[in-house]
């Protein structure tokens, strides 16, 4: 059963003479799932990093096991699931054979026993883990397909090219939320995996926090009931799509994920949906028309796995010589443009810091502080304050801290793409 | 006596032809405006539009029949164009010929023309101007077919009807409005009525030309109050309308005046989309006389074509509408 999808467009459709770039924020809100409705089919694969480093310290593996057991407990009856052991190869932890089994009291108990018995050994090859998960999901089309991937280290036992190749093969087949535990993993690497797999990314600096996080991820995945949602974008002849990004709840660039679907139309995967709301930023370059002309810069539709249209929206362009109209700034577009800039400033600032370019690092992180202050990103501002000493938060005058905890730096980097809704005027 | 449309025999006392339903007392432009044929996309020339009204090729909006509206009733002709800088045509016109009690195919008793310019700050300004023009034309044509026709009283009634029609478009958040100018032209007299800044001119063949209307704008009020034209034009709200047709208007009684020209000429009604390029009487007069023929001897459709083309060539910043009625009216050879 399909919920209700509502699409809202926020844009200033008025462009000055000669302008070509059309920006719009599309808010997609799904409602109508919930208690009254039977849950749709779901499939869940938990990938547990069992490389040798998980033994150092021993608590890491113990907490990972505890988290995995919590996730198994959160699976409702009937959900098809499996647990995978990630090393330099991928092996089944539960069940023994390469398949999914339906969750019930006895399979959940068996799975938890198998998880408890696992030993850490070997290396890290994330591509192999994803490939096994992908095989497990075969034959479950129409189900909400979700994986959790936990790792504590770099992808050392396969080449980046191989990981890229596998990501290309499997992305779009299932959603994978990624968690880095400790501080020995690579933020950029895991962010690539999470982004390509349309999942979230976070750091779990303290392994003790894992169980609650796993339970929450599993519960969220169980709340999804419309699988394989796609955003179809029609643009007129001669138009160029500069980008299509998810901008809320986190920044995910979908531009390169386009699959051509019809004349002048392409589909972008949005994975599974529950009762939730997400925002997308579309930036389309059109051929400027004459003042007074009105055109459709984009036709947006949302489709489910069976090509049923769930909702529609229009992105317009009207050229005018009335500057009072064309200079209006749409608050949603401005807000998310600012968020993208904030994330970029943090990521570039941290990269410069790592490479010893103090000047660039200070400038970028200072800009990030100013943006976070201006836009009310208190959480981000707090994380920034652990990396730089702030002299003036408004102008972004900062000094790099001499000593920065690895976990603080990684947390700031990891969470730079977490976004925040536009505050409604007068609202809370 | 036969119906001019189907040739069926008609009684002089009949108001409608019993065969084809033609109104024998009048002929007029269609309600909703003489919509133009707008088939091809202006962006790519294609003709395939989606159900949402946009070109499937290039995304341009389906051209509207209102983009260019043309009417030629022989005794009166009008042309209304979207211009080159506006996304919609919010000007409207309606015109018609009344045949008096004797009916068609007898001589025409009066020609009626109305031009309304929708105020662009409101949505549905195009609907406002069109219903105002259509309603007013109806009242004027009905009245002109009566034997005791009083053109000035009919003009006041027509404006009242226009007010009523436009007020029906009012919603909680907006009050569409428009200007109004009309002319009732007979063999001996010209009666004009107006509210707002759409204008009527008399262009004489030999007699001196004259602007028959005075703009209802803040600048005109200031000048009338004794302020210099230069200072008045510097007032930030100088070009704002002082009077208009709409639910939010205070003054509802139109200006009305009647004149009896002693010679031949042509009555020109227009929206500010024309007179912004020909602001003085002299410039408009010269534009009409650029053609060597006496103004009343040109076909009115030729005259309006030329004036609209001039506005478009000058930039076409606004919607432009021109209606022309040669004076005195001929004997009604309508086509």
- Which are the contacts of A222, defined by CB distance < 8 A and separation ≥ 6? A39, A42, A74, A75, A76, A79
Whether residue B61 and residue A321 make contact (CB cut-off 8 A), yes or no, is no
Whether residue A292 and residue B60 make contact (CB cut-off 8 A), yes or no, is no
Whether residue A237 and residue B42 make contact (CB cut-off 8 A), yes or no, is no
User: What is the nearest CA distance from B58 to chain A, expressed in angstroms?
Assistant: 4
Contacting residues of B for A287, CB less than 8 Å apart: 58
Q: Kindly state the tokens that stand for B75.
A: 């005794």
Give the mean pLDDT of chain A.
Answer: 90
The pTM for the full model equals 0.80
> What's the pLDDT score for residue B2?
83
Whether residue A294 and residue B44 make contact (CB cut-off 8 A), yes or no, is no
When scoring A17, A235, A237, A320 by the number of chain B Cβ atoms within 10 A, the one with the most, hence best to mutate, is A237
Mean pLDDT, to the nearest integer, of A301-314?
A: 91
| pLDDT band (50, 70, 90) for residue A17 | very high
> What's the pLDDT score for residue B333?
45
Whether residue B57 and residue A299 make contact (CB cut-off 8 A), yes or no, is no
User: What is the nearest CA distance from A247 to chain B, expressed in angstroms?
Assistant: 26
Query: CA-to-CA distance for B175 and B83, rounded, in angstroms?
Result: 24
Q: Which helix (H) or strand (E) holds A371?
A: helix A358-374
What residue in A sits closest to B56 (Cα-Cα)? Answer: A236
CB nearest to B44's CB, from A237, A314, A321: A237
Residues B112, B117, B119: CA angle, nearest 5 degrees? 150
Mean pLDDT, to the nearest integer, of A275-295?
A: 93
Encode pLDDT of A140-194 as tens digits: 887 889 999 999 988 888 899 999 999 999 988 999 999 998 888 999 999 999 9
Whether residue B317 and residue A297 make contact (CB cut-off 8 A), yes or no, is no
| pLDDT band (50, 70, 90) for residue A39 | low
Residues of chain A contacting B, Cβ within 8 Å:
235-239, 286-287, 289-297, 299, 314, 318, 320-321
Contacting residues of B for A238, CB less than 8 Å apart: 58
Contacting residues of B for A262, CB less than 8 Å apart: none
- Which are the contacts of B218, defined by CB distance < 8 A and separation ≥ 6? B232, B235, B237, B238, B239, B240, B241, B242
> What's the pLDDT score for residue B4?
81
Structural contact between residues B69 and B83, judged by C-beta atoms closer than 8 angstroms: no
> What's the pLDDT score for residue A3?
62
Whether residue A292 and residue B43 make contact (CB cut-off 8 A), yes or no, is no
User: What is the nearest CA distance from B44 to chain A, expressed in angstroms?
Assistant: 9
CB nearest to A294's CB, from B85, B87, B317: B87
When scoring A296, A312, A320, A322 by the number of chain B Cβ atoms within 10 A, the one with the most, hence best to mutate, is A296
CB nearest to B58's CB, from A236, A290, A292: A236
> What's the pLDDT score for residue B8?
87
| pLDDT band (50, 70, 90) for residue A223 | confident
Whether residue A289 and residue B60 make contact (CB cut-off 8 A), yes or no, is yes
Contacting residues of A for B44, CB less than 8 Å apart: 237
Contacting residues of B for A236, CB less than 8 Å apart: 43, 55, 57-60
Question: In which residue are the tokens 């009916």 written?
Answer: B103
Contacting residues of A for B55, CB less than 8 Å apart: 236, 295-296
What residue in B sits closest to A314 (Cα-Cα)? Answer: B52
CB nearest to B59's CB, from A292, A297, A320: A297
> What's the pLDDT score for residue A227?
82
Whether residue B59 and residue A321 make contact (CB cut-off 8 A), yes or no, is no
Encode pLDDT of A383-401 as tens digits: 999 999 999 999 999 999 9
CB nearest to B54's CB, from A286, A295, A320: A295
Contacting residues of B for A15, CB less than 8 Å apart: none
> What's the pLDDT score for residue A323?
87
User: What is the nearest CA distance from A426 to chain B, expressed in angstroms?
Assistant: 21
Whether residue B55 and residue A235 make contact (CB cut-off 8 A), yes or no, is no
pLDDT values of chain B reduced to their tens digit, one per residue, 335 residues: 788 888 888 887 788 888 888 888 889 999 999 998 777 888 898 889 988 889 999 999 998 899 999 999 999 999 999 998 888 999 999 999 998 777 777 789 999 999 999 997 777 899 999 999 999 999 999 999 888 899 999 999 999 999 999 999 988 888 899 999 999 999 999 999 999 999 999 999 999 999 999 999 988 888 888 888 888 877 777 778 999 999 889 888 999 999 999 999 999 999 999 999 999 999 999 999 999 999 999 999 999 999 999 999 999 999 999 999 999 997 644 43
Whether A427 has a pLDDT exceeding 60, the answer reads no
Mean pLDDT, to the nearest integer, of A337-347?
A: 92
Instruction: Name the residue among A178, A170, A129 with its Cα closest to residue A149.
Output: A178
Whether residue A292 and residue B50 make contact (CB cut-off 8 A), yes or no, is no
Q: Which residue has the higher pLDDT, A20 or A422?
A: A20
Whether A32 has a pLDDT exceeding 90, the answer reads no
> What's the pLDDT score for residue B334?
41
Structural contact between residues A214 and A230, judged by C-beta atoms closer than 8 angstroms: no
Number of neighbouring beta carbons within 10 Å of residue A161: 9
What residue in B sits closest to A236 (Cα-Cα)? Answer: B58
Q: Is A428 exposed, middle or buried (0-12, 13-18, 19+ CB in 10 A)?
A: exposed
> What's the pLDDT score for residue A423?
61
Structural contact between residues A405 and A386, judged by C-beta atoms closer than 8 angstroms: yes
Query: CA-to-CA distance for A87 and B6, rounded, in angstroms?
Result: 92
Lowest mean pLDDT among A60-69, A226-235, B191-200, B225-234: B225-234
Query: CA-to-CA distance for B264 and B294, rounded, in angstroms?
Result: 9
Whether residue A236 and residue B55 make contact (CB cut-off 8 A), yes or no, is yes
In order of A39, A114, A144, A227, B67, the CA distances from A43 in angstroms are: 12, 19, 6, 11, 56
When scoring B59, B120, B236 by the number of chain A Cβ atoms within 10 A, the one with the most, hence best to mutate, is B59
Structural contact between residues A258 and A284, judged by C-beta atoms closer than 8 angstroms: no
In sequence order, what DSSP letters do the residues of A16-50 get, joined into one string?
Answer: -TT--EEEEEEEEEEE--STTSPPPPEEEEEEEE-
CB nearest to B59's CB, from A291, A295, A320: A295
């Amino acid at each position: 059963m399909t919920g209700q999808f509502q699409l809202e467009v926020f844009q200033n459709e008025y462009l000055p003479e000669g302008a070509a770039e059309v920006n719009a924020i599309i808010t997609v809100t799904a409602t109508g799932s919930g208690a009254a409705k039977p849950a749709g089919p779901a499939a869940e694969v938990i990938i547990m990093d069992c490389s040798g480093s998980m033994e150092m310290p021993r608590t890491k593996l113990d907490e990972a096991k505890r988290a995995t057991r919590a996730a198994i407990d959160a699976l409702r009856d009937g959900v098809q699931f499996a647990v995978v052991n990630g090393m330099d190869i991928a092996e089944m932890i539960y069940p023994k054979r390469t398949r999914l089994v339906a969750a019930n009291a006895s399979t959940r108990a068996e799975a938890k026993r198998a998880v408890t018995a696992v030993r850490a050994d070997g290396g890290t090859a994330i591509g192999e883990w994803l490939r096994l998960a992908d095989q497990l999901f075969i034959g479950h089309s129409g189900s909400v397909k979700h994986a959790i991937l936990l790792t504590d280290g770099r992808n050392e036992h396969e080449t980046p090219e191989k990981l890229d190749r596998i990501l290309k093969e499997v992305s779009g087949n299932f959603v994978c939320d990624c968690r880095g535990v400790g501080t020995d993993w690579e933020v950029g690497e895991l962010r690539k995996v999470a982004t390509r797999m349309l999942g979230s990314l976070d750091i779990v600096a303290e392994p003790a926090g894992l169980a609650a996080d796993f339970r929450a991820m599993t519960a969220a995945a169980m709340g999804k009931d419309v699988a394989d949602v796609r955003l179809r974008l029609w643009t007129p002849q001669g138009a160029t799509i500069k980008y299509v990004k998810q901008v809320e709840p986190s920044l995910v660039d979908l531009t390169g994920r386009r699959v051509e679907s019809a004349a002048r139309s392409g589909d972008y995967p949005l994975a599974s949906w529950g009762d939730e709301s997400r925002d997308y930023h579309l930036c389309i370059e059109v051929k400027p028309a004459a003042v007074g002309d009105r055109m459709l810069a984009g036709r947006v539709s949302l489709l489910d796995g069976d090509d049923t249209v769930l909702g529609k929206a229009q992105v317009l362009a009207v050229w005018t010589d009335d500057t009072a109209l064309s200079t209006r700034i749409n608050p949603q577009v401005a807000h998310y443009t600012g968020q993208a800039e904030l994330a970029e400033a943090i990521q570039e600032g941290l990269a410069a810091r790592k490479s010893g370019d103090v000047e660039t690092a200070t400038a970028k992180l200072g800009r990030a502080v100013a943006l976070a202050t201006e836009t009310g990103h208190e959480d981000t501002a707090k994380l920034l304050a652990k990396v730089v000493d702030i002299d003036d938060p408004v102008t972004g005058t900062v000094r790099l801290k001499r000593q920065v905890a690895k976990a603080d730096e990684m947390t700031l980097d990891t969470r730079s793409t977490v976004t925040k809704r536009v505050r409604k005027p007068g609202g809370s | 006596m036969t119906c001019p449309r189907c040739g069926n025999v008609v009684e002089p006392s009949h108001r409608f032809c019993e065969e084809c339903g033609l109104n024998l007392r009048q002929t007029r432009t269609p309600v909703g405006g003489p919509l133009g044929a707008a088939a091809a996309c202006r962006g790519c020339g294609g003709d395939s539009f989606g159900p949402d009204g946009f070109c499937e090729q290039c995304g341009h909006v389906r051209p509207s029949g209102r983009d260019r509206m043309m009417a030629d009733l022989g005794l009166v002709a009008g042309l209304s164009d979207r211009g080159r800088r506006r996304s919609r045509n919010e000007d409207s016109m309606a015109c018609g010929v009344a045949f008096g009690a004797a009916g068609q195919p007898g001589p025409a008793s009066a020609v009626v023309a109305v031009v309304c310019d929708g105020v662009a700050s409101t949505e549905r300004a195009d609907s406002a101007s069109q219903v105002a023009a259509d309603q007013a034309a109806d009242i004027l044509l009905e009245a002109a077919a009566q034997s005791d026709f009083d053109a000035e009283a009919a003009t006041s009634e027509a404006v009242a009807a226009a007010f009523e029609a436009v007020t029906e478009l009012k919603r909680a958040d907006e009050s569409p409005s428009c200007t109004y100018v009309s002319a009732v032209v007979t063999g001996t007299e010209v009666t004009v009525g107006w509210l707002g800044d759409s204008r009527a001119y008399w262009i004489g063949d030999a007699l001196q030309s004259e602007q028959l209307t005075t703009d209802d704008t803040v600048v005109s009020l200031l000048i009338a109050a004794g302020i210099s034209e230069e200072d008045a034009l510097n007032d930030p709200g100088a070009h704002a309308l002082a009077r208009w047709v709409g639910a939010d208007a205070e003054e509802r009684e139109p200006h009305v005046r009647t004149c009896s020209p002693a010679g031949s000429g042509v009555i020109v009604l227009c929206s500010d989309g024309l007179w912004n390029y020909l602001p003085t009487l002299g410039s408009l007069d010269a534009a009409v006389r650029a053609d060597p023929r006496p103004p009343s001897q040109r076909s009115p459709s030729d005259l309006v074509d030329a004036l609209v083309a001039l506005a478009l060539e000058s930039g076409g910043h606004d919607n432009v509408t021109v209606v022309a009625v040669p004076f005195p009216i001929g004997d009604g050879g309508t086509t």
